[in-house]
Amino acid sequence: MDRVIVAVMGPTAVGKTSAAIEIAKNINGEIVSCDSMQLYKYMDIGSAKPTEEEQALAKHHLVDCVDPREPFSVAMYRDLAKNAIEQLFAEGKRPVIAGGTGLYLNSLIYDMDFAARPANDGTRAALYAMEEDEPGRLHEILTELDHEAAERIHPNNTKKLVRAVEAAMSGERVMDFSKDLKRTADYGIILIGLERDRAELYDRIDRRVDILMEQGLADEVKRLMAMGLTASDISMKGIGYKELIDHFNGEYDMEEAVRLIKRNTRHYAKRQMTWFRRYKDAVWFNLSAYTDQNEAFAEIVSFVKGKLEHCD
């Protein structure tokens, strides 16, 4: 088998899981999750983890495998994911990457140096520029890379945030800011991007939040808090969990918590699209352009098969 993986990316609630399953079913593939929340145990509802039925349609890896009480990093994810990818190749299966965590996807696309290294002036300038364009983004990234440092540094202290990100990881490679990024030579990659018209996507996000609440997200958060998890744990930084923890800590009522979850999820979806648009060789499919979702998936599967035949 040619060493080519398929990666399905896009904003939250766009339909990545369903599309990835259809692709995997049609190319002898199995799915490797690229979601920073779905890998945690005990966090089934808020992470919108694939259901048992969905996992029966296509085997999933890196789902429900990490204790939320333990620290976890993008470096650890990269090692687990690459091991899963190599195992699938060895078994004659096609790895299908699916998820919306940009840093995790970067770790599979590029060769990344996780060791501290001297500061790069271009990288530093890019980090400052990014924070100016997207206030709060640096702190979110630092939380992914070094949650202990993120706990110590105030979100408004840009100088310290920049230095911490530089110290945590090779900034230019992780953040996709420089022109000397090196694609991994471990395998080829077919990048599939999914999008929807903004109004439709935001409506799907709002409806998903309502469904998650109906499914018992609040009770799930209570159980996690009873296990000793708090807002300081990296696993509890995910949207839905952090807002409900603040609610249970008396910061606002449930109605406000739900409003914040919807708002923060919409903002997150916008940042995801900004990130994924950086991948210039990605092929995008707007699912809003199809009256039948199955028709959209059939076209995506046909495209992937064609690309794989060309690789052969």
pLDDT tens for the chain, 312 residues: list them. 689 999 999 999 999 999 999 999 999 999 999 999 999 999 999 999 999 999 999 999 999 999 999 988 888 999 999 999 999 999 999 999 999 998 899 999 988 766 545 555 666 777 777 777 667 878 888 877 776 677 788 888 888 888 888 777 543 333 433 344 689 999 999 999 999 999 999 999 999 999 999 999 999 999 999 999 998 888 898 999 999 999 999 999 999 999 999 999 999 999 899 889 989 999 999 999 999 999 999 999 999 999 998 876
The token pair that represents 206 in the structure block = 């709002």
Structural domains of the chain, ranges and CATH numbers in brackets = 4-111+185-311 (3.40.50.300), 121-174 (no CATH)
pLDDT value of position 195: 98
Distance CA 178, CA 180 (A): 6
Distance CA 113, CA 75 (A): 9
pLDDT value of position 33: 97
- Would the pTM count as exceeding 0.75? yes
The token pair that represents 312 in the structure block = 């052969």
pLDDT value of position 186: 95
pLDDT value of position 181: 60
Longest distance between any two alpha carbons in the chain, whole Å: 59
pLDDT value of position 63: 97
pLDDT value of position 120: 59
Q: What is the dihedral of CA 131, 239, 273, 147, to 10 degrees?
A: 50
Sign for the CA dihedral angle at 161, 166, 168, 170 comes to: positive
63 sits in which H/E element: none
pLDDT value of position 177: 38
